[in-house]
Amino acid sequence: MSEPTDALHPGLRLVQHPLVDHLVAELRSAATPVPRFREVMEQLGELLAYEALRDAPTRDVEVTTPLEKITQRKLAHRVTLVCILRAGAGLTAAMLRLIPEAQMGHVGMFRDEEALSPVSYYDKLPPSIAAGPVLVCDPMLATGGSAAACLDLLKSRGCEDLTFVAVLAAPEGLAKLAEAHPDVPVVLAAVDRELDDHGYILPGLGDAGDRIFGTLA
């Protein structure tokens, strides 16, 4: 189940489940090797996507089983997954297995480490992205700058059914999204204590991108 926590963000849904907690504990551990870290991130991607689409619009279709015909619900619109590069790929790979009909968009942003502000360098989005639900994926919501900038971009392309999906968030990042995009639901596995002076989430799990792709120094 996901539990609303309006005090941090009006659309925050914190996924509370023993399996989610167990997987987050594995991600946090510095002893978790790269292959397992990547696998756990993908498993969380599936669970978070499941929750993020809980209220997605559906339509009735007729399905012929081996025994008879039945009316069954299916997603009403094609889902788009938007990966904030590069760490977002750790979540979207598994989401695509869960929703193979989904289409993919990519937004490239990096954080200016001095100003702690987002710098955009790339975007490639499907032409029909505004026609259905959009899940914006990035494992870490730290300062919230990149997330807010990505949502700005998607709204400028006509997107209205947006949900931001992450594993961890700092209160500062949630405050940023509450100010800039209070209408966009945020689905998380955990909310952490704070940011350090370098804009990293504490206690966090380190640099998600480095741990996913094995580029640790």
> What's residue 2's pLDDT?
54
pLDDT tens, residue order, the chain (217 aa): 555 566 789 999 999 999 999 999 999 999 999 999 999 999 999 999 999 999 999 999 999 999 999 999 999 999 999 999 989 999 999 999 999 999 999 999 876 767 667 778 899 999 999 999 999 999 999 999 999 999 999 999 999 999 999 999 999 999 999 999 999 999 999 999 999 998 899 999 999 999 999 998 6
DSSP strand E in 16-167: where? 58-64, 69-75, 80-85, 103-112, 117-124, 134-137, 140-141, 162-165
Residue 64 within a domain: no
Structure tokens at 40: 């756990």
Domain that holds residue 40: 2-57+74-213
Kindly report, residue by residue over 5-29, the tens digit of the pLDDT.
Answer: 667 899 999 999 999 999 999 999 9
For residue 15, the model assigns a pLDDT of: 95
- pLDDT tens-digit map of 115-153: 667 778 899 999 999 999 999 999 999 999 999 999 999
Q: Residue 24: how many CB atoms within 10 A of its CB? A: 18
Report residue 133 as tokens.
Answer: 């639900």
Copy the structure tokens of residue 50.
């499941």
Alpha-carbon distance of 68 to 57, in angstroms, equals 26
CA dist 26 and 40 (Å) reads 7
Within a domain: residue 67?
Answer: no
- What CATH number is associated with residue 38? 3.40.50.2020
Q: What is the CA radius of gyration of the chain?
A: 17
Structural domains of the chain, count: 1
In angstroms, rounded to a whole number, what is the distance separating the alpha carbons of residues 63 and 69? 6
d(CA 124, CA 83): 10
Q: Residue length, the chain?
A: 217
